[in-house]
Copies of this chain bind each other. A is one copy, B any other.
Amino acid sequence: MTDTTPRRSTKQREAVREALSASDEFVSAQALHQALRQDGSTVGLATVYRALAALAADGEADALQAGGEVLYRACTPTHHHHLICRSCGRTVELEAAAVEQWAGRVAAAHGFVEPEHVVDIFGLCAECAARRAADDAR
């Protein structure tokens, strides 16, 4: 964790970084690999996994587990949380100073140190909610 980063810049890593930035939703490593392949790239699956892990380690991407697979998303390097549509995957980055403080306070109150926290909100975005309402009515 102490920045031992002898990272070499390669086409593949750049390609993964770009493909990730191109989406504003969380995507799986598998999906990203497929997308790259369809764009004519020849990257290997293992390389995509390695690149994503590197990006996540460098704080350039966020990772979250959902449904047995790990999803990645390019993100701002500052600490933040997510509001995610569970239907279309659209994601909003949230700042939550209040929650940060709460987490730190609660951890300290129980004698815990070095608190990290996972705070994500899943819901149905306005569009998906409307679409589902229409479907239900039909």
Contact = CB atoms under 8 A, between A and B. Distances in A.
Interface of A: 65, 83, 85-86, 92, 94, 96, 98-99, 102-103, 106-107, 110-126, 129
A60 B67 CA distance: 20
The majority secondary structure among interface residues of chain A is strand
Contact of A106 (B94, B124, B126): B94
A85 B96 CA distance: 23
B116 A119 contact: no
23 contacts: A83-B110, A96-B102, A96-B106, A98-B98, A98-B102, A99-B102, A99-B119, A103-B121, A106-B121, A107-B123, A110-B125, A111-B126, A112-B123, A112-B125, A112-B126, A113-B126, A114-B124, A115-B121, A115-B122, A116-B121, A117-B119, A118-B121, A118-B122
B111 A125 contact: yes
A123 B118 contact: no
